[in-house]
Amino acid sequence: MFKRYREFVRIGITFLLLAAACAGLYGLFIHYMYAPWTRDGRVRVQVVNSAPEVSGTIVGIHVTDNQSVKIGDLLYEIDPAEYEIAVAGAQAELASRQADMAVKVSEAERRAALTTLSASIEEKQQYSGAAAAARAAVNAAQARLDRANLDLEHTKLHSTVNGYVTNLLMRLGDFASTGRTNISIVDSDSFWVDGYFEETKLGNLKLNDKVYIQLMGYTALLTGHIESFTRGISTINATPGTQGLPNVDPIYTWVRLAQRIPVRIHIDDIPEGVPLAAGMTCTVWVKQEPLWQRIVAWFRRH
């Protein structure tokens, strides 16, 4: 009797262990297949490609490659000689126009004070028109001076963002052309993470969910939240083929690979000593309810 009881207990324990193992394996399967996490995350950033608004020879470079810069820091200078001459010429023209205007305004005022016996209405209108034209000439000269001063200011290029100079290739003596990028700055205030989640996991994600981020090579965790979802990815079936017809690739119906959809994650906190660089690989997972609650929710959906 005692032996049969021991056998029964052993069978019961074995059954419970098998049941627990099966439940654990099934839970891990659900977690792997449907829990919102991915190892396919990338650090992204905005890069400001700066280009000069005037052309000229570079005579001063005030930054080095990978240097940290703040908004307003001087990056480099273009030879200002030509633009200083333009300012001086515009100032001289403005002075000449102002002197001419003063004479013509004075003449117009004197004619306006005379009676029609001394100056005809037509004569008064001519002098008044000449004074108005002189004022317009002064305004035009002032605009040219303002433009010359602006061009002179543009010979010094300043940083428009906080960040880091990257891939600096310019050298003293290089010629800077208007509108042609010659210096790039990584905007350190614009870092974010793209998590490429399988489409089977998107149903468990929602805006503002808290996110944990672990960069490859670092143990400290970054935190963030879901900011937005990408609304479309490229598909090869959309490309036109012969005669403009859609080019549809054959598929194997027994193999269905889940597409990966980019999810934009705003970074809320960066631990001290963790430098960010665009292109870094990271693991991303979303904080959510306990595993047993997710298993129950999965059963309800299916």
Span 14-40, average pLDDT = 70
Q: What is the pTM of this model?
A: 0.73
Q: Is the domain of 123 the same as that of 160?
A: yes
At 29 the pLDDT is 60
**Which one, of 49, 38, 48, lies nearest residue 265 by Cα?**
38
* Mean pLDDT, range 18-30, rounded to an integer: 67
Q: Are residues 174 and 58 in the same domain?
A: yes
Whole domain around residue 211: which residue ranges?
34-46+187-301
Assess contact for 69 and 159: CB atoms under 8 A. Answer: yes
**284 CB burial (10 A radius; 0-12, 13-18, 19+):** buried
- Sheet arrangement for strand 163-166: 47-50, 183-187, 163-166, 68-69
Query: How many domains, in total, are found in the chain?
Result: 2
Structure tokens given for 243: 């005669």
In sequence order, which ranges of 35-120 are alpha helices (DSSP H)? 81-113
Both 169 and 96 in one domain: the answer is yes
Q: Which residue has the tokens 């001076």?
A: 145
pLDDT tens for residues 65-89?
A: 999 999 999 999 999 999 999 999 9
* Residue 191 and residue 160 in one domain: no
